[in-house]
Amino acid sequence: MLKLNTFSIAARDEKTGQFGVAVSTKVPAVGLLCPFVKAGVGAIATQSFVNPYIGINGLKYLEEGLSAQEVMDRILEEDPDPSIRQFSIVDKEGKAVAFTGEKCDGWYGHITGDNFAVAGNMLVSEATVQEMAKSFESTNDLPLAERLLKVMEAGQAAGGDKRGRQSASLKVYSTEEYPLVDLRVDEHPDPVKELGRIFEVAKRELFPFMEMLPTLANPAGKFDFESSREMGLLQDNE
C-alpha cells in the first residue's frame, strides 16, 4: 500500500465553476493517485495510506447527486480502515469537507471553507495548511489554476512535507470531459517551484492550443493555422 505523506488543496472557482486539485509530496508521481476531478461534478484529493477508490467512487457518488458530506459519510462506511486515510471533497455547490484518520503520521490535519479544503499529513507543522487556507481566501481575483499554484507555494514556504520534496501536480477541469490544466512534476528537488515554471511555459506553448480544441459546444474546434505556426506546432513548407 502506497503512503502519500502530502499537502493538497481541492477547490472550486465560484465565478467559473471550474474544479481543481493541487498536491505535492515526497514520493514520485503524486499526480497518478491523489487528484480526482470531473467537470461540473467536483474535486477530490486522497492521500496518506492512499485509496484511489476514494476518488474514483467519490466522483461517481457526486455525479449521482450526493453532497460532499453525504459522499464522505458513504466513503467512511465503505472503507475497511478509515483511520489511515486522509481525503478532501468539494462538490458542485462549493460545499467542502475533509477527513483525517487518527493513524496518519507526523503533524496531520485539514481546514475547510467555502469552495475549498486543504489537508496534509507528515508535515513540518500546522502552519502549512494554515498558510494554504489564507492564500486561497486572499487570491479570488486569480484564475483557479494560478490560485492553486499560489496555495501550494504558500504551503511549501510554510514547511510542507516533513521528509522533503519530490513531486507535485496541478489538475483543473472547466466545462469539458478533458482537463483544462494537467501538469505534473514527477521527480525534482523543488517540485512546487518547478510546477510553477512549467505552468509559465504552458501559458505560452500549450494553453493557446487548448483554446482551439473541439468542445462539447463546438465539436469542430477553432483551429488556427497562424497561431499554430507561432507556437511551433506547424512548419512552413520549404
Residue 3: which pLDDT band, with cuts at 50, 70 and 90?
Answer: very low
Gyration radius from the chain CA atoms = 18
In a domain, 94, yes or no: yes
In a domain, 219, yes or no: no
Residue 16: is its pLDDT beyond 80? yes
Domains contained in the chain, number: 1
What is the CATH classification number for the domain harbouring 116?
Answer: 3.60.20.10
Nearest by Cα to 196 from 152, 228, 226, 159:
152
- What per-residue confidence (pLDDT) applies to 223? 81
pLDDT tens, residue by residue, 170-206: 999 999 999 999 999 999 999 999 999 999 999 999 9
Distance CA 45, CA 25 (A): 13
pLDDT tens, residue by residue, 27-42: 899 999 999 999 999 9
Measured between alpha carbons, how far is residue 34 from residues 28, 50, 165 in Å?
A: 12, 8, 16
Residue 159: which pLDDT band, with cuts at 50, 70 and 90?
Answer: confident
Instruction: Report the mean per-residue pLDDT for the chain.
Output: 91
Distance CA 149, CA 142 (A): 10
In a domain, 212, yes or no: no
- What per-residue confidence (pLDDT) applies to 160? 60
Answer yes or no: are the C-beta atoms of 63 and 43 closer than 8 Å.
Answer: no
Compare 1 and 140 and report the one with higher pLDDT.
140
Measured between alpha carbons, how far is residue 157 from residues 59, 135, 148 in Å?
A: 31, 12, 14
In a domain, 208, yes or no: no
Residue 238: is its pLDDT beyond 50? no
The total of other beta-carbon atoms located within 10 Å of residue 101's CB is 18
Q: What are the grid coordinates assigned to 175, written together?
A: 466545462
- What per-residue confidence (pLDDT) applies to 54? 98
In a domain, 230, yes or no: no
Residue 92: is its pLDDT beyond 60? yes
In a domain, 184, yes or no: yes
Nearest by Cα to 171 from 58, 10, 50:
10
In a domain, 237, yes or no: no
Report the predicted TM-score, pTM, of the whole model to 2 decimal places. 0.92
The total of other beta-carbon atoms located within 10 Å of residue 1's CB is 7
Q: Domain span at residue 14?
A: 3-189
For 131-186, give the DSSP string: HHHHHHHT-TTS-HHHHHHHHHHHHHHTT-BTT---EEEEEEE-SSSS-SEEEEE-
In a domain, 135, yes or no: yes
3-state secondary structure of 59: helix
